[in-house]
Amino acid sequence: MRAIHLPVWLGSVKRPRAKTFAALFALSIVSRALLITVIPLNANAILGSAQRVSLLYFGVSIVALLGSLSIPWLVHKIRRRRVFTLGCLATVAAMPLLASDTLTVFVLGMVFLVFAISCLEITFNLYLMDHIPREELGRFEPLRVFFAAGSWTLGPWLGVYLQKNVADWAPFACAAIGAVVLCATFWILRLKENPAVAPAKGPPPRPTKYLHRFFGQPRLRLAWFLAMGRSAWWSMFFVFAPIYAVDSGLSAETGGAIVSLGAAAVFGAPAWGWVGRRFGFRRLLIGGYGLSALATYAIAVFAGVPDAGAIALVAAAVVTGIIDGAGNLPFLRAVHPWERPEMTTVFSTYRDMALLVPPGIFAVLLKTFALPAVFVASASFMVVLAVVSRYLPRRF
């Protein structure tokens, strides 16, 4: 009997489950979370103003967008498992560069890091769609966010604490170790690839072809816009919350604590996911974007009082966390199985555009207005997203 059932049992054990992918995603967040506050604070120290930091993020994001569009070519040439590994190695390579106080070297480190994030996110989503049935995605997305909650909650404060109390290089060393652990875990899991996306003998895919195909589908276009808006808000929060703290006379560690407390909102993702399944993700997103807009306007109102502004920042992050109850579900439900690699690549550019467009707008605003203008602009965009969410299918 053992001889008959043991191979079956082993095959069941090796088959990745939803929690396996959620844990792998959480590991992939560790390095980013440790540096999410450290990088903008270092950039602010090097450049000397929030306006110049916005210009820096704008420039780096242009390079990142071009890098993201090259990933289908890399998957075609070297297979996705090696692209995932390349993302881990690029993360490690970025760490000594980001630890530098020389602007050119620091910028190169940012480019390496955003390219690494693109490699990891695109290949992760491909594996995810291969192994998680479409009907289970509504439960998985909040689970994925919840598993990453620990990293997002502790990392932003811990990174600044390590830099201020241990050594300047400490958060970067820890982030490099996190990338090595992620790579080792990935190879231990030995995730299988869908043969449909294995390297073919034909020419690699052309970016212009699948860009047109993606944005020609209304549901994919809407999913991309909503994801870009959500990511843009969090990017604004991660960059300008610590800068607000330091410019207001609060300590850098307080800035890290603001980001950590705000990021703790992702612990509520499973609860918001349940609300979405119970009452509809369409209603959840309309309400989430609307409440985020109101709370973000409040940041601008209380920005002149440092402590009140800090509380408003945390409160805005908490209500914005409602949106994470849906995660990337609008895209995952809309994409066709036979075009996942190409469409996933285009969809992943929402993160690059979230780092590209808002910093460009903020850089223009900050030449004339004070920092609260950033929060007013972000709140206004969330109003637009609340309205646009009404175009999601009613059954969603």
**Predicted local distance difference test score (pLDDT) of residue 16:** 58
Q: In the predicted model, is pLDDT for residue 340 greater than 90?
A: no
**Predicted local distance difference test score (pLDDT) of residue 298:** 93
**Predicted local distance difference test score (pLDDT) of residue 207:** 56
- Where does the pLDDT of residue 357 fall: very low under 50, low under 70, confident under 90, or very high at 90 and above? confident
**Predicted local distance difference test score (pLDDT) of residue 131:** 73
- Residue 339 per-residue DSSP state: G
Cβ contact 183:28 at 8 Å: no
Q: Domains, the chain, ranges and CATH?
A: 18-193+202-391 (1.20.1250.20)
Phi, psi of 47 (to 5 degrees): -95, -30
**Predicted local distance difference test score (pLDDT) of residue 8:** 33
Q: In the predicted model, is pLDDT for residue 142 greater than 70?
A: no
Average pLDDT score, the chain: 82
Nearest to 303 by CA among 364, 240, 355, 359: 240
Would you state the structure tokens that stand for residue 284, as one six-digit string? 């959840």
Q: In the predicted model, is pLDDT for residue 395 greater than 90?
A: no
Alpha helices in 193-249 (DSSP H): 207-215, 218-247
- Where does the pLDDT of residue 6 fall: very low under 50, low under 70, confident under 90, or very high at 90 and above? very low
Going from the C-alpha of 166 to that of each of 170, 174, 255, the distances in angstroms are 7, 12, 18
Lowest-confidence pick of 68-82, 137-151, 225-239, 315-329: 137-151
**Sequence-separated contacts (24+) of 228-232 with Cβ below 8 Å:** 228/350, 228/351, 228/353, 228/354, 229/289, 229/354, 229/381, 229/382, 229/384, 229/385, 230/320, 230/323, 230/324, 230/385, 231/350, 231/351, 231/354, 232/353, 232/354, 232/357, 232/358, 232/378, 232/381
Q: What is the pLDDT of residues 280-299, one digit of tens each?
A: 888 999 999 999 999 999 99
∠ CA 130-133-323, nearest 5°, is 100
C-alpha–C-alpha distance, residues 215 and 224, integer Å: 9
Largest CA distance in the chain: 78
- Residue 338 per-residue DSSP state: G
Average of per-residue pLDDT across 246-253: 86
